[in-house]
Amino acid sequence: MNQSASSKKDRELILTIVSVLGVILTAVIITFLVKTLVIETDEDGLSRLDRILGVKPVDNSKVDYSMQQAYSICLKKLKEDVAERIHDIRFDRRSSRYDRDSNWFTVFFDIEMKSRGKIVDSWIYCHVSASTGMIEEYRVKGEGNLFNFN
């Protein structure tokens, strides 16, 4: 009985050692995978997991202008073109935005303008290039695309 009890303890010891080594090996493999897939990045700042998931790199070098500068550029053009007809103008912060795919700012203004002898509510938007600061498009609601700068 002593030998069977001893061999049973030996098997339990071996099973324990194998289990501990299995847990350690699993941890090492998971650490390697996380490091390889998630932590290490390429020259675009994307990991392999980002590439697998189709994440696009952000090109911050293209953005040379800010929303505030785009606002000023658009407001200046607006005042040059329709200043005599504007009764009131308000920047529409909610609708104005930066579009990363096209690399431009869309700037909206809510305006009250004189049209055919009365004051009407309208809006104006313009697309300002984030890299050049040039107005790509400019539109007044209800007037078609009178000021298209391409």
Weakest mean pLDDT among 2-6, 28-32, 131-135: 2-6
Q: What is the pLDDT of residue 71?
A: 92
Per-residue model confidence (pLDDT) at position 150 = 36
Given a cut of 80, whether residue 23 has pLDDT beyond it is yes
The pLDDT value recorded for residue 22 is 94
What percent of the chain shows pLDDT beyond 70?
A: 86
Collect all residues with Cβ–Cβ distance below 8 Å to 84 and sequence separation of at least 6: none
- Residue reference for tokens 């005599």: 84
Q: What is the pLDDT of residues 55-77, one digit of tens each?
A: 777 655 567 888 999 999 999 98
**How much is the average pLDDT of 19-29?**
93
Highest mean pLDDT of the ranges 8-12, 33-37, 81-85, 104-108: 104-108
Q: State the fold for domain 61-140.
A: Nuclear Transport Factor 2; Chain: A, (3.10.450)
Domains of the chain by residue range: 2-53, 61-140
Model pTM?
Answer: 0.53
Which pLDDT score, from 0 to 100, does residue 117 have? 81
Question: Chain-wide mean pLDDT for the chain?
Answer: 82
What mean pLDDT comes out for the span 124-143? 86
* Under 8 Å between Cβ of 77 and 126: yes
- Between 21-30, 32-41, 108-117, the lowest mean confidence (pLDDT) is in 32-41
The pLDDT value given to residue 58? 63
